Amino acid sequence: MSSKIQVAALIGALATSVHAHGLLSAISVDATAFTSYNPSFQYQNPAPEVIEWSCPQCQDNGFVEPSMYTDVAKIACHKDATAGAKVAQVKAGGTIDIQWTTWPESHVGPVIDYLAKVDDVTTATAKDLEFFKIDAAGYEGGEWAATKLLKNNLTWSVTVPENIAAGQYVLRHEIIALHSAGQDNGAQNYPKCINIEVTGSGTETPAGVTADKLYTPTDPGIKVNVYSGDLSSYVIPGPALFSGATKPSSGAASSPTPTSTPVTASSAAVQNNAVSATPVASSTPSASAGSGSSAAEKEFTLDTFVAWLQETAGSSSNERRHARAFSG
């Protein structure tokens, strides 16, 4: 029996469901709650106007893979995302709390935040955005940044640098899942973009790069085996942190509260800042990002089990890295 068939058979025997990846469920800008985007909005007429960039292709909660890094429309704000129609005002030095609907514990990796200054965020396109990094956390104190986000009620806090110039910016918030990153094209990027307008007297205008220049598929922080080796030496991918940025975050002190009940495709008229994204099922405990490669030393979820089986069986790089590949 081939290794591929063995993997499929084992998954069929052990799995009853597939972990879902998250969407944003709530955004709080300087303590003011704003509506997050949900792919179901595309079925509403008129669609709610929000500060988050729209991504109809994100309905499957999928990811951007390394083979897409050179396509700025895919990697900037997720697959072919378009600018949000609203803008949230935040003072320089202020805080933006971003909450996800869910996140699988198996999807360990860094959390990174960027800003891109534009004249009008509501008309900007992916190719207009030149990002500079303002926040980055990887593997510290034996724990991944994504794990810290999960433990903090699925929330991450971003501090706007105090010294940047006033104006409109796109905030790019991203989790990079590394549970399958030991193989080619195995990392999974989940970028989300939010429109903000910064107020204050700052003067810094950091240079940035378009999103297709942020990463390469072979960066040490992109292609990495998180199940063995010295993870304390993990290198966060992307350009250097902006010198005026605050100390990298370790999660928010408090979580934003969704502004109303979940949205469905059949929802009636909505009010601005009064809709929350549709929650999805929560994740279950999974393998930690410790060292070692023996199955007996790990507690596996479906995702980490697939990744481990593929690694030990020598799966080809063009096989799918998610359990949904075996679910039909």
Look at residue 274 and tell me if it is in a domain.
Answer: no
Residue-level pLDDT at 281: 33
Residue-level pLDDT at 251: 53
Look at residue 308 and tell me if it is in a domain.
Answer: no
State the Cα–Cα distance between residues 64 and 187, nearest whole angstrom.
9
Look at residue 301 and tell me if it is in a domain.
Answer: no
Grade residue 116 by pLDDT with cuts at 50, 70 and 90. Answer: very high
- CATH (domain of 148): 2.70.50.70
Look at residue 280 and tell me if it is in a domain.
Answer: no
Residue-level pLDDT at 280: 34
pLDDT digits (tens, 9 = 90+) for 96-112: 999 999 999 999 999 99
Q: Is the pLDDT of residue 279 over 70?
A: no
Q: Quote the pTM value.
A: 0.75
- What is the domain extent for residue 190? 22-259
Average pLDDT of the chain, as a whole number: 78
Higher pLDDT, 238 or 276: 238
pLDDT digits (tens, 9 = 90+) for 247-278: 555 454 444 544 433 333 323 333 334 333 33
pLDDT digits (tens, 9 = 90+) for 177-188: 999 999 999 999
Look at residue 307 and tell me if it is in a domain.
Answer: no
Residue-level pLDDT at 273: 41
167: left (phi over 0), alpha (psi -120 to 50) or beta: left
User: Which helix (DSSP H) or strand (DSSP E) does residue 197 occupy?
Assistant: strand 188-199
User: Which helix (DSSP H) or strand (DSSP E) does residue 67 occupy?
Assistant: none
Look at residue 95 and tell me if it is in a domain.
Answer: yes
Look at residue 122 and tell me if it is in a domain.
Answer: yes
pLDDT digits (tens, 9 = 90+) for 59-110: 888 899 999 999 999 999 999 999 999 999 999 999 999 999 999 999 999 9
Total structural domains in the chain?
Answer: 1
Q: Is the pLDDT of residue 15 over 50?
A: no
Residue-level pLDDT at 195: 98
> Do residues 231 and 246 make contact, with C-beta atoms less than 8 angstroms apart?
no
Q: Tally Cβ neighbours within 10 Å of residue 323.
A: 19
> Do residues 43 and 267 make contact, with C-beta atoms less than 8 angstroms apart?
no
DSSP assignment of 257-326 equals PP-SSBP-TT-----TT--BPPP-PPP-----S-S---GGG----HHHHHHHHHHHHT--TTS--SGGGG
Grade residue 245 by pLDDT with cuts at 50, 70 and 90. Answer: confident
Q: Is the pLDDT of residue 296 over 90?
A: no
State the Cα–Cα distance between residues 141 and 38, nearest whole angstrom.
34
Grade residue 244 by pLDDT with cuts at 50, 70 and 90. Answer: confident
Of the chain, the percentage scoring pLDDT greater than 90 comes to 64
Backbone angles phi, psi at 97, to 5 degrees: -100, 125
State the Cα–Cα distance between residues 160 and 179, nearest whole angstrom.
30
Grade residue 136 by pLDDT with cuts at 50, 70 and 90. Answer: very high
State the Cα–Cα distance between residues 152 and 253, nearest whole angstrom.
8
pLDDT digits (tens, 9 = 90+) for 197-217: 999 999 999 999 999 999 999
Look at residue 299 and tell me if it is in a domain.
Answer: no
CA distances from 7 to 106, 166, 308, 315, 327 (A): 18, 53, 10, 10, 12
Tell me what the mean pLDDT of segment 143-171 comes to: 97
